[in-house]
Amino acid sequence: MRPKILCISFSDIRADARVLRQLEVLAEFGDVTTLSYGVKPDAASDHLEIDASLPSLPQTPVGVALLALRLHRRAELIAPAVQRAFQLNAGRTYDLVVANEARALPLAHRIANGAPVWGDMHEWAPEERAHVRSWKLLVKPFMTDVCARYLPKTQAVTVVNDSIAALYERAFGCATETVRNARPFVDLEPVPVDAATIRLVHSGAAVPGRNLEGMIEAAAGLGPQYSLDFYLVPARDGGKYRRYLEELAAGAAQVTFHDPVKPEELPAVLNRYDVGIFSLPPQTKNHELMLPNKFFDFVQARLAIVFSPSPETSRLIRESDLGAITEDHSPAALIRSIQGMTRDNIARYKDNAHRAARQLSSESDESTERSILRRLLSLNPSTASGSIPER
């Protein structure tokens, strides 16, 4: 009998590239029930859908009061989405529970009822949105308390890079393993650089705080020999922020917005461009230590890369000679870096991305996930014999 695994993510998993990759590996080891916003992902055996209008943090009047009074234990399970999750899981048992991000940890441990829990923290939970005043005052202490109480009793903890791993180990004394936001290897070839227009591209989420305004400003300052295309996944705001960005770019003919594409289709779509760009001022520790999905998307698409400085991305760009690192996080610095790249430079960077694509794919990360799953499922005698893949 295959193990029963619950995967919790307060996102729409079909649009969440990291959790989708995680889900593919989970499905190798058992029958996976997903608990999330949105409809059932393809790799799930069963799905428990949370209404997208229900917040995953205690954003009710009572919840805000509890956060303000630092009554975190009373607040950790009262978020509307968490309450609904309990209702959906009534009478269910699992052999393993996976909690994506710290906000899911209290729920995961309660549902697990003694089964092992794998906490995929993704990034540094206390400062997820610390540039927002209400988060800094109310949610950061709550997230810190959740991590301090639940991570020591979580059987596996993963994060997106080694720099963030060091933060968790110093702050909470927990051992972590790194599972990057790398995607599977994609068999593509670099496309020749266009003779007339250098084609810039950015993919990601249409949410405030990602400095999309700065990239639009830079594109407007580059002139007609450059174009910038956006592929943006909409936020849970009904498209309000994306409409704002389109209005902001209305006077820049070289900026184009496209509908988002499925995560598995993204490298092939990006492949026809020349340079993937991203510039993010370090408003939070996560911004400072970023190693986002889009970096690996650009590599698999065989693009040259221009990123603002960050320890993790800058190291990889230098190691494989993938592109340019801006002097700072300003639109002017982004313009200078892009203009400093000749077509020959860009072609070389694209070829280097092609050579590095296998190394910077998710193969090693999936191996780490499989090792975690074999270890955790072996803790349960009912799943330890004959049902755990060896590869």
Residues 6+ apart with CB under 8 A from 295: 181, 278, 305, 307, 313, 316
Contact status, residue 298 vs residue 276, Cβ threshold 8 Å:
yes
Same domain, 335 and 244: yes
The parent domain of residue 243 ranges over 198-356
Is 192 within the bounds of a domain? no
Same domain, 259 and 373: no
Same domain, 285 and 336: yes
At residue 349, the 3 state secondary structure works out as helix
pLDDT band, residue 64 (cuts 50/70/90): very high
Same domain, 170 and 202: no
Q: What is the CATH number of the domain that holds 350?
A: 3.40.50.2000
CA dist., res. 291 & res. 242, Å (int) = 23
The alpha-helical segments, DSSP class H, found in the chain are: 17-29, 61-68, 72-75, 80-88, 105-112, 133-134, 140-150, 162-172, 212-222, 240-248, 266-270, 285-288, 293-300, 311-320, 331-339, 343-356, 363-377
pLDDT tens-digit map of 98-155: 999 999 999 999 999 999 999 999 999 999 888 888 999 999 999 999 999 999 999 9
In the predicted model, is pLDDT for residue 389 greater than 80?
A: no
Closest CA to 39 of 57, 27, 51: 51
Instruction: State the average pLDDT over residues 352-368.
Output: 96
Question: What pLDDT is stored for residue 263 in this prediction?
Answer: 85
pLDDT tens-digit map of 216-271: 999 999 989 999 999 998 877 778 899 999 999 998 889 999 998 988 899 999 99
Angle between helices 343-356 and 293-300 (to 10 degrees): 100
The two three-digit tokens of residue 388, written as one number: 């755990």
pTM: 0.88
